Amino acid sequence: MVVLEGSPLDPPACDMPWPMEILRANAGLTAPDPVCDCACEAPEGGTCGDVTLKRHDSSCLAVPTLQVSLAPDSCDDNGGAGFPAGGKWHAEPSEYVGGGCAPIPTEDVPEATWDTEHVICTADALQGTCEPSATCRPAPPADAVVCIHKDGDLPCPQRSPYTNRQVVFGGMDDGRRCTECSCGDPEGTCASEVRFVQNSCIGGVLVGSHAVDGSCFDGPMLTFDYLALSSATPNATCAPTPSIPEGEALPKEPVTLCCM
């Protein structure tokens, strides 16, 4: 038998006078690690809690003289008494509670490639006179080597001219992948706005407003009837767990070539 070696991009082929292909195998496996990443979508399914608004006479560091707790999209009229003008107001954003984030995994497994491809070729016996116990074959091609082969990763036979050993492979088991992408619980607050309204909670005259951001701000310089809280927008995120490469590509179906 003869063995021809070439690139997988331009694979060798059996040809006359050795036209019959016995086996095709490969060597030099290259399998880069996968490219892995993990991100999280915006949280869903949670709720924004109530906001506690505090009014102070002169400073937000002083004891509050009035305190109102409002749910998103609600208002309060202070028991029908309305609210005094001026003063300082303060409110901390509410926490985003519950819900979860859908993971966004990225897994790009590069193609595993072989450096070389080998084909084992044979030919019919020729008519003629050969040495005793030998079989007449055509002369090997100039770019081929004369070999024997056997399945498995084995030593070459002792006391034989076939001493140049190489193991080639019929395939591979590709176990490369990325670890699971998952997301932690949502963490963060909710963005909303406090509004000072005259006459009617819905459709009334807006006399002032301020983002609920933990800062101290001035109340309107006139009395008002309703203290309202806008709808709340989640300003929370989920931390992704790192997704990293694992596994490897391993050659399988070894064949030992012993060549002259």
- Per-residue pLDDT tens for 53-98? 999 998 999 999 999 999 999 999 999 999 999 999 999 999 999 9
Q: Phi then psi for 192, rounded to 5 degrees?
A: -155, 180
With the C-alpha atoms ordered 158, 161, 164, 169, is the resulting torsion angle positive or negative?
negative
10 Å Cβ neighbour count for 92? Answer: 14
DSSP code, position 10 = B
Q: Tell me the C-alpha to C-alpha distance, in Å, between residue 82 and each of 77, 211, 213.
A: 5, 21, 24
Average pLDDT, the chain: 93
pLDDT of 27 above 60: yes
CA dist., res. 125 & res. 135, Å (int): 6
Q: Of 236, 15, 21, 237, give the one whose Cα is nearest residue 143.
A: 15
CA dist., res. 208 & res. 194, Å (int): 9
| pLDDT tens-digit readout, 123-136 | 886 655 566 655 67
Q: How far is CA 177 from the centre of its chain?
A: 10
User: What's the pLDDT at 68?
Assistant: 96
Cut 0.85: pTM above it = no
Q: Reduce the DSSP state of residue 19 to 3 states and report it.
A: coil
Find the mean pLDDT for residues 213-242.
96
With the C-alpha atoms ordered 56, 62, 63, 68, is the resulting torsion angle positive or negative?
positive
DSSP code, position 222 = S
> By the 8 A CB rule, do 215 and 90 touch?
yes
DSSP code, position 152 = S
